[in-house]
Amino acid sequence: MAWTLLLEALSSILREARRIVPMAAGIVWGVASVFVLVAIGRGFESSQRGSLEALGESFVLLRVNRPTLSRGDVRADSFVRLDGEDVEAMRAATPSVAALSPKATNWFVRAFSGRIVTRAVATGVDPAYADIVHIDLEAGGRWIDEQDLEQELPVCVIGWGVRNELFGDGPYLGQQLSLIFSRDAGDDTVFRRLEVVGALSDVELSGDDIYTSHRRQVFLPFTTWERFSPRDFQFFVLRPKEPEQKAAALQEVRDVLGARHGFDPQNENTLVPYFDSYERRAKIDAVFGGLETFLSAVGALILALGAVGVANVVLMSVTARTFEFGLRRALGCRRRWIFVQVFLEAGLVCLLSGLLGFGLGVLGIEVVSRIDLPSGFAAPRAELSSAWLPGVLLLVVSLAAAAWPATRAARTPVARALSGGKL
């Protein structure tokens, strides 16, 4: 009996193919469009989350501002200069902070090995920096440790960009690297030689932000940096004990530095976050949550229009077969069998159109993946995780499109059907 109903449904679809195909094309296009858009959105989301993971997901990069100035003010006196004593004071009086490290930076110094010269950023950090920010070292190397810090050893860990430009594919561990520090715009230039003890892996996915990227960093022990560098520092990183304690941790830092440097600790503008991984993650969640809602609405609208067309065509077919259904009822056919047959007709049209739409979507994703996408976009891939949204929409649309004409056909009184009355 089931096979008979299925064959009859397919036969009816073939008879009405000229009417059904244009309407089913709307479902094909809707499923393919949503599938491709979801895959592109997931690719972009994965690249953004991967980029955040490569930097670290639980830290804040901070600078202490003068209370009356904005972040955009880059004058020499626009920020508070910090030193090692400030770091120790913060560690001693910030119970909400799990880890803290200076990020003492000399921008755009020259680094050279032999005759090869490149631009680098010399950065003094504590060993705790690797517990706060994600540090992925190449095999064989090591990170800065407490012994380096205590003995002010001239060692360094280099970013993959510096390693690539100075050493290429050759050995770099144990090699000498020199940095040129200068004071007062070139006067009193100082050359410092360092031993390379490690290098960072190339894990950054996009961007080259001057404040967060490790590509051109040359990391030194903070005490070594203090001895080499001609100035104090402005930036530091911290990780609160719990994400919920971030606000408390920042207030504790303001209290300490406000007392030491004479500014109002209640003024939140004095502590400027240059990178906040917690806020970045919240923005990513909000943006891509909204994007998925938008795609759901667009996909539902496109598929609904196609489903209405299919349901209308099937209903017209059912109307033309009114006498047939009345005769079947008179000969003992039950309502549910008529309902099932008509339901199969509309449902099969939607489902077959959906499968064709998925196939077209896979082809579209393959085409898009071969295009050079902007920085920050990962190539979309046809994955099951990208198919659930159009799949759910297709299922709902199929049920809705099939239920209406099937119910009308099954509920038509026998006498009206045999007399040729309308459904």
Per residue, what are the HEC states of 195-207?
EEEEEECCCCCCC
Measured distance CA(340)–CA(410) in Å, rounded: 9
pLDDT of 324 strictly over 80: no
Inside any domain, residue 131: yes
Higher pLDDT, 359 or 11: 359
> What is the predicted pLDDT for the residue at 203?
81
With cut-offs at 50, 70 and 90, classify the pLDDT of residue 157: very high
Nearest to 29 by CA among 319, 358, 345, 377: 358
Same domain, 20 and 114: no
With cut-offs at 50, 70 and 90, classify the pLDDT of residue 78: low
With cut-offs at 50, 70 and 90, classify the pLDDT of residue 68: low
Structure confidence by residue, pLDDT tens digits, 82-99 = 888 999 999 999 999 999
Q: pTM of the prediction?
A: 0.72
Percent of the chain at pLDDT > 70 equals 71
pLDDT of 79 strictly over 90: no
Cβ atoms 307, 350 nearer than 8 A: yes
Inside any domain, residue 152: yes
Same domain, 223 and 311: no
Same domain, 227 and 296: no
- SS3 at position 174: coil
Measured distance CA(269)–CA(175) in Å, rounded: 43
DSSP class of residue 378 equals P
Higher pLDDT, 220 or 1: 220
> What is the predicted pLDDT for the residue at 171?
92
Structure confidence by residue, pLDDT tens digits, 341-368 = 777 777 777 778 878 888 888 888 888 7
Cβ atoms 18, 345 nearer than 8 A: no
Inside any domain, residue 268: no
Inside any domain, residue 370: yes
Percent of the chain at pLDDT > 90 equals 27
Q: Which of 262, 290, 317 is the last residue of a domain?
A: 262
pLDDT of 72 strictly over 80: no
Q: Which of 198, 232, 262 is the last residue of a domain?
A: 262
Same domain, 242 and 300: no
pLDDT of 100 strictly over 90: yes
Give strand pairing partners of 238.
60, 100
Domain tally, the chain? 2
Same domain, 215 and 324: no
Inside any domain, residue 175: yes
Inside any domain, residue 274: no
Same domain, 163 and 252: yes
Same domain, 37 and 100: no
Cβ atoms 34, 299 nearer than 8 A: yes
Instruction: Please give the mean pLDDT across all residues of the chain.
Output: 79
pLDDT of 383 strictly over 50: yes
Inside any domain, residue 25: yes
Structure confidence by residue, pLDDT tens digits, 204-253 = 765 556 778 888 999 999 999 988 876 788 899 999 999 999 999 999 99
Residue 347's domain comprises 2-53+282-418
Same domain, 246 and 298: no
Inside any domain, residue 337: yes
With cut-offs at 50, 70 and 90, classify the pLDDT of residue 127: very high
Structure confidence by residue, pLDDT tens digits, 13-47 = 666 667 677 777 777 887 788 788 888 788 778 77
Structure confidence by residue, pLDDT tens digits, 40-61 = 788 778 778 877 887 888 899 9
Same domain, 306 and 244: no
Same domain, 230 and 287: no
Same domain, 90 and 209: yes
Copy the structure tokens of residue 165: 């430009």
With cut-offs at 50, 70 and 90, classify the pLDDT of residue 200: very high
pLDDT, mean of residues 179-189: 60
With cut-offs at 50, 70 and 90, classify the pLDDT of residue 76: very low
Tokens 């919920």 belong to residue: 244
Same domain, 116 and 237: yes
pLDDT, mean of residues 390-400: 70
Copy the structure tokens of residue 366: 């393959």
pLDDT of 125 strictly over 60: yes
